[in-house]
Amino acid sequence: MKLPIRLRVTIWYLALLAVLIGALGAFVVVRLRTDLVDGIDASLDTRARQIALGFHGKGESDFQDVSDASLRGLSGGESAAQLLDTSDAVLQSAGDPVAEAPLIGATDLAIVNGGGTVRRSVQLGPDFESFRVLAVTLPDSPGTILVVATSLETVASSVERLTILLLLSGPSVLVVAGLGGWWLARAALSPVSMIARTAGVIGIDQLDERVDVPRAEDEVHDLAVTINRMLERLERGVKNQRRFIDDASHELRTPLAVMRVELEVGLRERDLAPEARDTLESLFQVVESLGATVEDLLTLARADEGKLVLVEETVDLQACAAAVREALAPVAAAANVEVRLEGQRTPVIADERRIDQVLRNLLANAITYAGPEGHVVITTWKENGSGYCSVRDNGPGIPDTVRSRVFDRFFRADDARTGDGAGLGLAICRELVMAHGGRIEVASQPGTSTFTFAIPELDSVH
């Protein structure tokens, strides 16, 4: 079931067509044989009547002459006639030598003696050749049975030729039909493929786009309409979610700021008991973390609405990296992680505060995952009109299955790369870098991960 739909449709179409062709071929072969045998039976009836009318019982030569004259009218192949008595003894015979022995058995003889007529296909002679046999009682000679037989060689030959023709032409018909079925399936499913390609590139930032709706009022039209309606619902839901996050962030910003100020004032008291000071410091850290999360949410909300304001100026990525390294030195020391700075001066046009935010998120992330006695390397360089900065750590790496999602909002990878945050840091890095007209990517393998972002250089801007 992993095959493409068009291939599955073609296979089922060919299977059904093969069954139909086989059934039709078998019917034609059987029908031809039946019709040919019916024609031979009719001919045998005529010859039997001719022999009965022409034979006057004047001896063997009389029967021979009448039989030979009548048998000439039969179709190609050997023919024979004989007269039997009621005990199945041959009285006279003509034609093929097989008539020298009885052409019917005891069962058929009993039927004819009872006034019946026997029509049967039998195997006669040393070669077991197929014959069609007609046995009747002579009207003017009670107790005498007339048996007329003719070979079925022409029937067998005709049926064989037709069978060979069908066997030879059938595969050719199936090949042509398969190609036609493949083309028809492809033509019928091409609108679905086009809809799938269009829908596949619509991301969270392009929910205002829609797939093309075919003019034909068919199932594909209904599919396109359904997908567009789904996209409309998603767009409304995402807008409502972003509006809620924006509103909630603004509402939380003020009380958190008030709490932060009050905690700072409380911590300045010299007469605080140690237990109370520890409690206030813990609360202060919680408020600081909540404040950072709220600021992150506000940044994302502004980016979504296109309201992210950048104060662009000449910024040196190496200098920014050095400043961030110094600012996070206590964090690195506490985690027993070495942070090295490499590279060259890399001037770009950017918002220094936002670049600082990107570097802080990446470096904090790297320090966390490098682990005790680990190391982080920050490298800056210029290449192809852009300034580059990479942050590499020797942590456990990012699994291939989740690497493409590390920049998604609220995404948390497995335990190897999961921190205590809300899963917004890398998403904010992507939004801020893209707002500068740059790009960010990640490369990882067991034992190392490298996040790299690029910003247009100063020279390329001017």
pLDDT at 5: 82
C-alpha span between 412 and 402 (Å, rounded): 9
pLDDT at 418: 43
Residues 135 and 224 in one domain: no
Those residues with Cβ within 8 angstroms of residue 37's Cβ, 6 or more apart along the chain or in another chain: 121, 132, 152, 155
Let me know if residue 189 belongs to a domain. Answer: no
Helices 5-54 and 153-200 pack at an angle, to 10 degrees, of 160
Do the beta carbons of residue 326 and residue 333 sit within 8 Å?
no
For residue 47, the enclosing domain spans 5-158
Residues 431 and 294 in one domain: no
Let me know if residue 327 belongs to a domain. Answer: yes
pTM: 0.53
Mean pLDDT across the chain, nearest whole number?
86
Let me know if residue 121 belongs to a domain. Answer: yes
Question: Helix (H, G, I), strand (E, B), or coil: what is residue 14?
Answer: helix
Residues 269 and 350 in one domain: no
Q: How many domains does the chain have?
A: 3
Position 58: which residue type?
K
Let me know if residue 197 belongs to a domain. Answer: no
pLDDT at 415: 46
Let me know if residue 359 belongs to a domain. Answer: yes
pLDDT at 424: 79
pLDDT digits (tens, 9 = 90+) for 25-41: 999 999 999 999 999 99
Let me know if residue 21 belongs to a domain. Answer: yes
C-alpha span between 381 and 146 (Å, rounded): 113
Three-state SS annotation for 17-33: HHHHHHHHHHHHHHHHH
Residues 40 and 85 in one domain: yes
C-alpha span between 259 and 289 (Å, rounded): 12
Residues 300 and 346 in one domain: no
pLDDT digits (tens, 9 = 90+) for 169-192: 989 999 999 899 889 888 888 888
Residues 298 and 316 in one domain: no
The CATH number that applies at residue 352 is 3.30.565.10
**DSSP string across 284-318:** HHHHHHHHHHHHHHHHHHHHHTT-----EEEEEHH
Stretches where the chain sits below pLDDT 50 are 415-420, 460-462
User: In this structure, what token pair is assigned to residue 110?
Assistant: 């009993």
The CATH number that applies at residue 232 is 1.10.287.130
Let me know if residue 210 belongs to a domain. Answer: no
Q: Which uninterrupted H or E stretch holds 47?
A: helix 5-54
Residues 316 and 300 in one domain: no
pLDDT at 306: 72
The CATH number that applies at residue 113 is 3.30.450.20
